[in-house]
Amino acid sequence: MKKLLLVVFVAILAMGSGFAQQGQRDPAARLQRELDGLTTELGLSKDQVAKITPIVTEGQKKWSDLRTKMREAGGTPDRAKMGEERAKMTAETDKALKAVLTAEQGVKLDAYRKKQAEERAKQQQGQ
């Protein structure tokens, strides 16, 4: 009986891990996480959320397309080049976002992006 419970427990853990990884790759979930983060960090109004949603969506689509293109090229992707491209795309997206934001929210956006970059750097060090 104990072995059966152990097998069931391990199976549940494995399925949960699979769902967690799938959520990271789901474009809709990624978009919602980004919008939620921006809304919380910047204190966006509903009107602002409606205006920035297509901007963030387009930015994420461009990034996804670039990653796909680099993977299809074969070999190991150049992480430095990907980092440069990501920074360039983020700057373009942020410029469009700042057209919708107040000056105070623009400052908060810069701080939020810095925080995101630091978190990404920590994750990459852990790999």
Q: Render pLDDT for 106-124 as a digit per residue (tens, 0 to 9).
A: 999 999 999 988 998 888 8
Residue 105 near residue 51 (C-beta atoms within 8 A)? no
Q: Considering the domain boundaries, does residue 6 fall inside one? A: no
Residues 6+ apart with CB under 8 A from 113: 90, 94
Q: State whether the Cα torsion 108-112-118-121 is positive or negative.
A: negative
Q: Considering the domain boundaries, does residue 78 fall inside one? A: yes
Q: Considering the domain boundaries, does residue 16 fall inside one? A: no
Total of domains in the chain: 1
Q: Considering the domain boundaries, does residue 19 fall inside one? A: no
Instruction: Quickly count: other Cβ atoms within 10 Å of residue 44's Cβ.
Output: 21
Q: Considering the domain boundaries, does residue 72 fall inside one? A: yes
- Classify 44 as helix, strand or coil: coil
Residue 88 belongs to what domain range?
A: 28-126
Q: Considering the domain boundaries, does residue 14 fall inside one? A: no
Q: Considering the domain boundaries, does residue 43 fall inside one? A: yes
Q: Considering the domain boundaries, does residue 112 fall inside one? A: yes
pLDDT digits (tens, 9 = 90+) for 41-88: 999 999 999 999 999 999 999 989 988 888 888 777 777 888 888 889
